[in-house]
Amino acid sequence: MSNPPKSVSEKRARRVKLSDVASASGVHYSTVSRVLRPGFKGRISDDVAERVRAVASELGYQPNAVASSLRTQSTRSIGLIVHDMNDPVYPPILSGIESVMSPDGYAVLVGNTGYGVDAELDLVNRMASRLVDGIFLATTRLKDPAVERCEQLGIPLVSVLRQTASGHTPAVMNDCFWGMEALTTHIIESGHRDIAVIIAPQDLSTAQERWQGVQAAMNKHGLSVPKHRLAHVDRMSMDEGERATKALLAAAPVSPEVIICVNDLIAVGAIRACRDRGLRVPTDISISGYNDIPLMDMIDPPLSTVHIHLRQIGKAAGEMMLEYLSNPDLPAQTKRVKPELVLRGSLRDLKR
């Protein structure tokens, strides 16, 4: 019946609050608030302000952001939703965003969807519940329920890397069409004709644009990709690239001259699969990637790819978010950042 005596738990140290500072300096706590609130000017005499500030720092006062948020309806926190932080494209974006938002006092809440569309919507709801001031969505699908939900809730949204079909979402993207068309053109001009392609789900604008870029370049040269030279991956990982490449190599008796991969990780998987099949890269088969993630210059062979300015895109997205936060009625704008061709050793020149 008798309860065991409650253990002498050292409670979470009592935080000093406004009223503590107030009584210690002999003023009302609203005065303390006015003194300490950044960007509050005038209205309080200098000597009082100074005294309050002294007491506050002596007592080690730190504002309670939760209480402040409840009152001001702004949490100074923003969400970043990605497929999987383990994909090396995302950390530089996070860095970029942080570098512009953090100085303004924003904290970043990251969420991984694991490529799930339900998880994505769930994350938006959870972040909305936490009253984030805005959301960066890097998983934007051409038709995306998460985007609709944000609009419905009135949460400022900036789409990163990708864009919706309507194009009505504020977004900072890489120019994937341009990049992939340029890369494909280079490949064709190096003499390749039997071209295989590994593409990603076409409900992502990045995947769609890259595939369209390939097709545009090939059309321009009177070429096209036959069905047996086309493979699909569900997500961006080396394993998926390996699997798709094996399917590709098994689909026809003779292997293609080159495999254009939607992304570097896929390309690395492709290199692995080719080696497994005894094919030398690029002697027997050429391979290209996209993104130019770190280490692509160090692998064997060094990967020819398209360099995306990820950090710059992150910074631009952060700046765009700041704009929308200060002016919610701004019309949606899309910024496209041009990538750069990076030619290394994984592509053979058949002309020589």
Site for DNA (CB under 7 A): which residue of 57, 72, 86, 102?
Answer: 72
Site for DNA (CB under 7 A): which residue of 73, 283, 326, 327?
Answer: 73
Residue 10 beta carbon to a second copy: minimum distance, rounded to whole angstroms: 6
Residue 77 makes contact with DNA by CB under 7 A: no
Give 77 or 190: the residue with its C-beta nearer to DNA.
77
Site for DNA (CB under 7 A): which residue of 6, 11, 41, 43?
Answer: 43
Give 7 or 45: the residue with its C-beta nearer to DNA.
45
Using an 8 Å Cβ cutoff, are 197 and 259 in contact? yes
DSSP 278: T
Interstrand relation of 305-307 and 340-342 (parallel, antiparallel or unpaired): antiparallel
Q: End-to-end CA distance of the chain: give it in Å, rounded.
A: 91
Stretch that binds DNA, among 31-39, 166-174, 273-281, 307-315 (CB under 7 A): 31-39
300: partner contacted, choices a second copy, DNA, none (Cβ within 5-8 A by kind): a second copy
Rounded Cα distance, 189 and 352, in Å? 12
250: partner contacted, choices a second copy, DNA, none (Cβ within 5-8 A by kind): none
What is the secondary structure of 59-127 as a DSSP string?
Answer: HT----HHHHHHHHT---EEEEEES-TTSTTHHHHHHHHHHHHGGGT-EEEEEE-TT-HHHHHHHHHHH
Q: Which tokens hold the place of 302?
A: 């060094």
Tally the residues of the chain.
352
130: partner contacted, choices DNA, a second copy, none (Cβ within 5-8 A by kind): a second copy
Site for DNA (CB under 7 A): which residue of 2, 7, 9, 45?
Answer: 45
Adjacent-strand bridge partners of 141:
204
Residue 56 beta carbon to DNA: minimum distance, rounded to whole angstroms: 10
Give 28 or 221: the residue with its C-beta nearer to DNA.
28
Cis peptide before 301 (omega within 30 of 0): yes
Using an 8 Å Cβ cutoff, are 239 and 269 in contact? yes
Q: Which tokens hold the place of 17?
A: 């609050």
Residue 317 beta carbon to DNA: minimum distance, rounded to whole angstroms: 27
Stretch that binds DNA, among 46-54, 280-288, 310-318, 339-347 (CB under 7 A): 46-54
Which positions touch DNA (CB under 7 A)?
A: 15, 17-19, 26-31, 33-34, 36-37, 42-45, 47-49, 61, 63-64, 67-68, 70-73
